[in-house]
């Protein structure tokens, strides 16, 4: 099996069909584990092999999880995916990829052995360099060979397996020049040792292997951090729950067998297994996964609760609203897994460069060998220079340039409550110069608040409002203090209001033209957020409501302006309400009363004007606009369709997540460009020295390893400093960013 992984029986077409799920009207999806994936070239090979199958609509490989998601047309048998991957040297099977700790353990063992061998061989080399006699030198060279050979076989198998798999199937990857360089350096040193030569480079072989393994281990460790983030979410999932049957019996079911409509008995201290609704009981929940707030939140019958939230104080009786695979927690896990699945332009450039790199390096080494052999007639010297060329131009730094930055950026966003649904969105976000907001539920909480909580007759209004789920009714109930009068014969008329009796009086709460017998100032009242209370047709009170701003809204707008972004509001709400919110936030460009198609039209106008737009919205009506924008974000409490259409989802209530995410994306773009520059500059400087014969294999090994470590260290800079400042870049953007114009 490729990559030396454990043996797995190839699944049948029927097993693949059973393991798949329908993701669209005419598409099915399955996840395959491909343990042999380890670089960008492998991703491209796997995806291209699957894309050649007739019925495959899409194939997305993931380097972090070493898996591939395949979608094919529904209604036809599953395509020959396993066979297609086997033909290009990648064995695949159903289920999860091998556990990361096994791979990490193998890399650490290989690294430790290579490090131990390097220290010992260097002791022999120091003695030789100090002027040991011919006899002692020959003994030390022989001892070095005996140490280097098993180390090369054991610690180098990570590179040899990958290179052999690529060559056997007619392709190359970055491990091919590495393997050739290691082998030629050892073979040349062994030849010199057997011939009694003065120089041998066993120290260079094991040192090169040692530094290569450092880079490979660091790369894997960074990806393991992203996998641990997904694992942290997965560990929040309950294994199962006690269920109550229709006949009152209690049965424990695994979480994956719970179906919508089932009744769950949740004890204190247990996590909610699936998205559910409270049927009975009151308790406190830890909803920090959803809201980012650590303070417990009270729950009561009728409240929706998300999978992964922790029940703290008392038993609850719940009704399941979704299956475990479709729960809030499962969606969060999928978002984090998708953080690296997107292929940005930079990543594709890195893959193409790595694909061209091996032939170019091999050609350079061959030409150096032929040139020096022809010019000097010294075949041994020519071979030594060719080996130095292969070693010093190892493409590790180029291969690490993009994925390391993307992993660190995704992890940094996750730690601040932002989930990346599309890895390619990270690149698009860095180019954003305009941010467009929906109003209700995005800039505001979507929950009206009574403007004058001490208003007269509030108790009577709240007594009626308690019988309704209307947002204004809930706001009245929340604002009430003290006892309320008894109201009987309550009935609600949709679109009008609530009616009841208090003693012999008829009490109404709702629209003025229905509540009042002789309504006055209807036009004035209708233009504001207001509901009216009456007794026997006579007006008692008008209650006015304000929609609370979402936390951090003002700070987010100011930060975006400092980062050089224009801001605007597109809303379907009344012009008075939208203008009020815009004034409170200092946003000068806004439109109200828009239908979903109108929002899409406005975004298309901005795109036609050359603007790169970030759309932030939460509702069902925002889904088309989220899809139409260059890049999109949604809060975690958005409608399901809105979250699915967004590239980023922020879990915490504060809108300050938006400028933070933008600054991280811009900083990641800068680091990616710096990494490319470092890799290109290093090779441009190192290659002429190697071809000129000025670098020994030992010096080449040191130089190559340092370049790889420099790329990793540069990516880790994303974790330092404050991401909220854009500095000179933001000021430059602000100078060239015109005011948003939606109309010609």
pLDDT digits (tens, 9 = 90+) for 278-331: 999 888 887 766 654 555 677 888 888 988 888 887 889 999 998 888 887 777
Distance between CA atoms of 186 and 150, rounded to whole angstroms? 12
Distance between CA atoms of 241 and 252, rounded to whole angstroms? 6
Phi and psi angles of residue 611, each rounded to the nearest 5 degrees, phi first: -85, 145
Distance between CA atoms of 103 and 100, rounded to whole angstroms? 5
Task: List all residues 6 or more positions away from 530 whose beta carbon is below 8 Å from its beta carbon.
Answer: 512, 542, 543, 544, 545
Task: List all residues 6 or more positions away from 466 whose beta carbon is below 8 Å from its beta carbon.
Answer: 473, 477, 484
Query: 60 or 612, which is more confident?
Result: 612
Which CATH number is 446-549 given? 3.40.1110.10
Model confidence over 524-555: pLDDT tens digits? 444 446 788 999 988 888 888 877 888 899 99
The one-character DSSP state at 69 is E
Residues spanned by CATH 2.70.150.10 within the chain? 241-329
* Beta carbons of 145 and 189 less than 8 angstroms apart: yes
∠ Cα 303 307 311 (to 5°): 65
pLDDT of residue 590 exceeding 50: yes
Residues marked as catalytic: 438
* Beta carbons of 429 and 410 less than 8 angstroms apart: no
Instruction: Count Cβ neighbours within 10 Å for each residue of 515-551 and write b for 16 or more, e otherwise.
Output: bbeebeeeeebeeebbbbbbeeeebbbbbebbbeebe
Phi and psi angles of residue 603, each rounded to the nearest 5 degrees, phi first: -65, -35
The one-character DSSP state at 629 is S
pLDDT at position 76: 81
Q: What tokens does 367 get?
A: 């030409």
Q: What tokens does 200 get?
A: 């041998």
Distance between CA atoms of 195 and 460, rounded to whole angstroms? 105
pLDDT of residue 52 exceeding 70: yes
* Beta carbons of 92 and 2 less than 8 angstroms apart: no
Q: What tokens does 304 get?
A: 């929706």
pLDDT at position 663: 93
The one-character DSSP state at 512 is H
* Nearest alpha carbon to residue 617 among 602, 637, 597: 637
Query: 269 or 612, which is more confident?
Result: 612
Q: What tokens does 180 get?
A: 């050739």
Percent of the chain with pLDDT over 70: 77
pLDDT at position 22: 67
Model confidence over 460-518: pLDDT tens digits? 888 888 887 777 788 888 888 777 788 888 887 755 788 999 888 899 998 887 888 76
Distance between CA atoms of 339 and 410, rounded to whole angstroms? 6
Phi/psi region, residue 727 (left: phi>0; alpha: psi -120 to 50; beta: rest), is left
Distance between CA atoms of 706 and 388, rounded to whole angstroms? 15
Distance between CA atoms of 66 and 97, rounded to whole angstroms? 6
pLDDT of residue 2 exceeding 50: no
Query: 74 or 694, which is more confident?
Result: 694
Q: What is the dihedral of CA 365, 370, 375, 377, to 10 degrees?
A: 110
Model confidence over 409-463: pLDDT tens digits? 888 888 888 888 766 778 889 989 999 998 877 888 777 778 776 667 888 888 8
pLDDT of residue 111 exceeding 70: yes
Percent of the chain with pLDDT over 90: 12
Q: What is the rounded average pLDDT for all residues in the chain?
A: 78
pLDDT at position 741: 62
Query: 16 or 728, which is more confident?
Result: 16
Which CATH number is 2-98 given? 3.30.70.100
pLDDT confidence band for 161 (50 / 70 / 90): confident
pLDDT at position 98: 44
pLDDT at position 556: 93
Q: What is the dihedral of CA 712, 715, 718, 721, to 10 degrees?
A: 60
* Beta carbons of 663 and 563 less than 8 angstroms apart: yes
Instruction: Count Cβ neighbours within 10 Å for each residue of 582-621 and write b for 16 or more, e otherwise.
Output: beebebebbbbebebeebbebbeebeeeebbbbbbbbbeb
Distance between CA atoms of 165 and 163, rounded to whole angstroms? 5
Distance between CA atoms of 145 and 638, rounded to whole angstroms? 64
pLDDT at position 635: 87
Q: For tokens 């392709």, what's the residue?
A: 171
* Beta carbons of 655 and 585 less than 8 angstroms apart: no
Query: 311 or 221, which is more confident?
Result: 311
* Beta carbons of 58 and 71 less than 8 angstroms apart: yes
pLDDT at position 437: 93
pLDDT confidence band for 251 (50 / 70 / 90): confident
The total number of residues shown for the chain amounts to 744
Q: What is the mean pLDDT of residues 81-96?
A: 81
Q: Report the DSSP pairing between strands 316-320 and 263-266.
A: antiparallel
Q: What is the mean pLDDT of residues 14-18?
A: 70
Distance between CA atoms of 531 and 614, rounded to whole angstroms? 36
Q: What is the mean pLDDT of residues 575-585?
A: 87
pLDDT of residue 186 exceeding 70: yes
Output Rg (C-alpha) for the chain, integer angstroms.
33
Q: Which residues pair with 80 in a beta bridge?
A: none
3 state SS for 540-595: EEEEEEEEEECCCHHHHHHHHHHCCCEEEEECCCCHHHHHHHHHHHCCCCEECCCC
pLDDT of residue 1 exceeding 50: no
Provide the CA 269 distance to its chain's centre, in angstroms: 30
DSSP readout, 147-192?
HHHHHHHHHTHHHHHHHHHHHHTT---THHHHHHHHHHHHHHHHHH
The one-character DSSP state at 326 is G
| pTM across the whole model | 0.59
Q: Kindly report the number of other CB atoms within 10 A of residue 76's CB atom.
A: 10
Q: What tokens does 199 get?
A: 């120089």
Query: 406 or 215, which is more confident?
Result: 406
Helices (H), 393-423: 396-400, 403-415
Which CATH number is 241-329 given? 2.70.150.10
* Beta carbons of 646 and 421 less than 8 angstroms apart: yes
Q: What is the mean pLDDT of residues 40-50?
A: 82
The one-character DSSP state at 172 is -
Q: What is the mean pLDDT of residues 706-719?
A: 81
Q: What is the mean pLDDT of residues 369-382?
A: 87
Q: What is the mean pLDDT of residues 386-391?
A: 81
pLDDT at position 236: 66
Residues spanned by CATH 3.30.70.100 within the chain? 2-98
Model confidence over 643-686: pLDDT tens digits? 766 888 888 888 999 999 999 999 988 988 888 888 888 888 88
Distance between CA atoms of 733 and 728, rounded to whole angstroms? 9
């Amino acid at each position: 099996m490729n990559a030396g992984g454990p043996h797995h029986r190839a699944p049948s077409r029927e097993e693949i069909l059973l393991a798949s799920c329908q993701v669209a009207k005419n598409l099915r999806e399955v996840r395959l584990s491909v343990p042999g994936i380890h670089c960008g070239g492998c991703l491209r090979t796997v995806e291209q092999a699957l894309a050649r199958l007739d019925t495959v609509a899409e194939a997305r490989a993931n380097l972090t999880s070493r898996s591939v998601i395949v979608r094919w047309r529904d209604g036809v048998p599953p395509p020959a995916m396993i066979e297609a991957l086997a033909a290009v040297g990648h064995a695949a099977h159903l289920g999860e990829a091998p556990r990361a700790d096994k791979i990490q353990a193998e890399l650490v063992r290989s690294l430790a052995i290579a490090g131990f061998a390097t220290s010992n061989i260097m002791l022999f080399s120091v003695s030789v360099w100090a002027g040991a006699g011919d006899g002692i030198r020959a003994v030390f060279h022989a001892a070095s060979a005996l140490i280097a050979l098993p180390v090369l076989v054991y610690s180098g198998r990570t590179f040899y397996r990958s290179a052999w798999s690529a060559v056997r199937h007619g392709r190359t990857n970055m491990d091919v020049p590495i393997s050739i360089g290691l082998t030629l350096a050892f073979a040349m040193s062994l030849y010199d040792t057997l011939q009694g030569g003065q120089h041998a480079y066993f120290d260079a072989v094991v040192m090169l292997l040692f530094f290569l393994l450092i880079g490979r281990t660091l790369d894997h460790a960074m990806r393991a951090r992203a996998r641990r983030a997904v694992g942290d979410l997965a560990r929040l999932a309950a294994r199962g729950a006690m269920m109550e049957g229709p006949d009152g019996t209690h049965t424990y079911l695994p979480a994956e067998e719970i179906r919508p409509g089932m009744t769950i008995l949740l004890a204190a201290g247990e996590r909610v297994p699936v998205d559910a609704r409270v049927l009975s009981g009151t308790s406190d929940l830890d909803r920090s996964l959803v809201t980012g707030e650590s303070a417990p939140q009270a729950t009561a019958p009728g409240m929706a609760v998300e999978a992964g939230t922790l029940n703290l104080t008392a038993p609850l009786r719940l009704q399941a609203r979704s299956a475990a695979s479709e729960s809030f927690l499962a969606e969060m896990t999928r978002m984090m897994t998708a953080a690296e699945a997107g292929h940005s332009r930079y990543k594709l450039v890195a893959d193409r460069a790595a694909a061209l790199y091996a032939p170019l390096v091999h050609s350079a080494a061959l030409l150096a060998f032929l040139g020096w052999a022809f010019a000097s007639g010294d075949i041994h010297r020519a071979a030594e220079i060719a080996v130095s060329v292969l070693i010093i131009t190892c493409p590790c730094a180029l291969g690490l340039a993009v994925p390391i930055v993307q992993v660190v950026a995704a992890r940094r966003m996750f730690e601040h409550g932002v989930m990346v649904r599309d890895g390619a969105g990270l690149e698009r976000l860095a180019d954003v110069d305009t941010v467009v907001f929906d109003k209700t539920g995005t800039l505001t909480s979507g929950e009206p608040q009574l403007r004058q909580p001490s208003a007269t007759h509030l108790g009577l209004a709240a007594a009626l409002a308690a019988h309704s789920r209307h947002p204004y009714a809930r706001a009245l109930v929340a604002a009430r203090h003290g006892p309320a009068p008894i109201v009987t014969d309550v009935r609600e008329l949709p679109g009008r209001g609530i009616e009841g009796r208090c003693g012999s009086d008829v009490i109404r709460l709702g629209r003025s033209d229905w509540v009042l017998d002789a309504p006055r100032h209807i036009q004035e009242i209708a233009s504001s957020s207001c509901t009216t209370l009456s007794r026997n047709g006579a007006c008692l009170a008008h209650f006015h409501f304000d929609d609370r701003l979402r936390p951090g809204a003002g700070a987010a707008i100011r930060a975006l302006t400092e980062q050089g972004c224009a801001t605007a509001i597109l809303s379907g709400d009344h012009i008075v309400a939208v203008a009020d919110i815009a004034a409170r936030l200092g946003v000068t460009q806004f439109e109200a009363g828009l239908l979903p198609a109108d929002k899409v039209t406005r975004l298309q106008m901005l795109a036609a004007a050359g603007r790169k737009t970030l759309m932030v919205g939460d509702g069902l009506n925002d889904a088309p606009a989220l899809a139409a924008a260059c890049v999109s974000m949604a809060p975690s409490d958005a409608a399901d369709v809105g979250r699915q259409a967004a590239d980023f989802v922020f879990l915490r209530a504060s809108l300050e997540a938006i400028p933070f995410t933008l600054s991280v994306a811009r900083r990641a773009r800068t680091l990616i460009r710096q990494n490319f520059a470092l890799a290109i500059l290093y090779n441009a400087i190192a290659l002429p020295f190697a071809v000129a014969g000025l670098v020994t294999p030992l010096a080449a090994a040191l130089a190559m390893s340092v370049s790889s470590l420099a790329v990793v260290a540069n990516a880790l800079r994303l974790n330092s400093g404050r991401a909220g400042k854009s500095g000179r870049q933001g000021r430059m953007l602000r100078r060239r960013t015109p005011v948003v114009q939606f109309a010609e």
